[in-house]
Chain A
C-alpha cells in the first residue's frame, strides 16, 4: 500500500508562513493527496486535497510536485489555533478509496 512520510514535528512563529512537507514516492496515478489536521481530543478535520495541480482554499494551499512524489501544505499565516497534528494522506483508488494515514507532523506555533 502507498505510504506517506512526514517529519515528526515542526515549529513556527505566529503570523509566519509554514511549509509542511510530505513524501509519497509510491503514489499511483489515481491516488489523491489529502491533508487533515487533528486537535487534541477531536476527530481529524479536512484541510485540502488535490490530484495533480496545486490547490488553494480558505485554510491553506497545496503544492504538488510535478512527479507527484511529494507535496507541501502551506499555511500562509500561522496562528496559535493552527497548532495541531497534520496528516498527509493518500486516498487510494482500490474501489473503496481507502484512506491510509501516516504518523503526521505535530506543528508547534510560538507566539
Chain B
C-alpha cells in the first residue's frame, strides 16, 4: 500500500469552528489532491497541489483553503465549518500527473 495517511479519521465539530485535515505521504510524490465524497455526487475535487507551495482550485473549492509547505504534507482547512461541509474527505497522491493516484482511507467529518 502507498504510504499515505489521513488524520484525523473521524471528527465531529460545531458550525463556525475552524477545522484542519492533514494528509501525510511517505512516497515523495509531487502531486497531492483533496476530494470530498457525498451521496449522489461521487468524488469532487476541492484543491490540488503540483509541488511545494504550488496549489490550485478544483471544482468545489469555496469555503476551503489548502497549504503545502513541504512535500509530504497537504493540509485542508475549513475556515468556518458549515453543515454543508459534512462529508467524507479523501486525499490522493501521484508521482507524475498522468500516473495512477493512490488514495487515503478517508476522513469522515460531521459538522453539527
Contacts and interface: CB of A to CB of B under 8 A. Distances in A.
A29 B48 CA distance: 22
Max count, chain B CB within 10 A of own CB: residue among A45, A93, A98: A98
Nearest to B54: A96
Given A96-B56, A101-B35, A44 B97 contact: no
Contacts of B49: 96
Interface residues of A, number: 26
Contact of A51 (B94, B97, B98, B100): B98
Interface stretch (B13-21, B70-78, B79-87, B103-111): B103-111
Q: Which 6 A-B pairs have the closest CB atoms?
A: A97-B97, A43-B103, A46-B100, A101-B43, A96-B50, A32-B98
23 contacts: A36-B101, A41-B106, A42-B106, A43-B105, A44-B43, A44-B92, A44-B103, A46-B102, A49-B98, A49-B100, A91-B97, A91-B98, A96-B31, A96-B49, A96-B50, A97-B94, A98-B33, A98-B48, A99-B101, A100-B59, A101-B42, A101-B43, A101-B44
Interface of B: 31, 33, 35, 41-45, 48-50, 54, 56, 58-59, 90, 92, 94, 96-106
